[in-house]
Each structure stands twice: as C-alpha cells, then as structure tokens.
C-alpha cells in the first residue's frame, strides 16, 4: 500500500471516530482535508467493516452509512441497535439500546439493518 493510501485510511478513520453519528461517503468527502475519490473511500470503508472497526447501515434514502464501533469487542460485532436518520439535518445516529428480535430456534443473525427516520431533537 502506498503512502497516499495510508494517509487516506488514517484520515477516514479519524473522521469516523470523531463523528458522533454515522456518515455516508459524501459527508466523509466534505470533512476530509485531502481530495479522495469515491472508489478509494469505499475501498477503505469496506476494509474497516471487515476489520470490525466500523459497521455499515443502509439508510432509507438508499445511501450507505458507516459508524465507528465504540463498544464492539472482536467477537461481539453485532450491532443489534436501531439507527435514526433525521430527514431535516440528514444525521444518522446509533440508538444505543440493544434490540432483541424473537427468532425461531436455530436461526442465527448475521446482520441487523434497522433504520428509523424522522426528526431529531435539535430539528424539532
């Protein structure tokens, strides 16, 4: 991996760590100090997902959002929490309470993509 790639990787991770909400690729591009193309951003984000640093949410706007994993241990990368997308300011937040979904015996959850949209407390 060349130096530019390493810089992009570090910067994207720092942006996600600082953000209090999940970000889509446009939001990351806006916050980045250097210009990064879409393909680079997605490649980096997908690697972060594989490395369990971030989790991916597909919004009801059809966009992919990425949130930094704050309390994911290696084996507990579950993300069974809802996400709230504000239709006014566009913010996508992780709702911290865990959601228990009743499933039939023998079913294993691999992914949880729960998105609620509405208006957040600062936009009401």
Give the residues lining the site for Zn ion (CB under 5 A): 55, 67, 69, 72, 77, 86, 88-89, 94, 120, 123
Cα 90 to Cα 23: distance, rounded to the nearest angstrom? 10
| Residue corresponding to tokens 């957040």 | 120
Give whichever of 37 and 58 is closer to Zn ion, judged by the CB atom: 58
Please report how close the Cβ of residue 63 comes to Zn ion at its closest, in angstroms.
15
Cα 98 to Cα 22: distance, rounded to the nearest angstrom? 17
Looking at the DSSP bridge assignments, the partners of residue 92 are 22, 85
Please report how close the Cβ of residue 19 comes to Zn ion at its closest, in angstroms.
12
Please report how close the Cβ of residue 33 comes to Zn ion at its closest, in angstroms.
25
């Amino acid at each position: 991996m060349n130096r530019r790639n390493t810089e992009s990787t570090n910067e994207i991770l720092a942006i996600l760590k600082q953000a209090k909400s999940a970000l889509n690729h446009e939001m990351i591009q806006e916050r980045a100090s250097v210009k990064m193309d879409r393909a680079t951003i997605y490649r980096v984000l997908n690697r972060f997902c594989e490395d369990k640093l971030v989790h991916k949410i597909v919004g009801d706007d059809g966009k992919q959002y990425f949130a930094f994993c704050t309390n994911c241990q290696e084996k507990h990368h579950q993300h069974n929490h809802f996400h709230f997308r504000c239709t006014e300011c566009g913010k996508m937040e992780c709702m911290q309470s865990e959601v228990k979904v009743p499933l039939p015996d023998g079913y294993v959850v691999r992914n949880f993509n729960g998105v609620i949209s509405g208006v957040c407390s600062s936009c009401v």
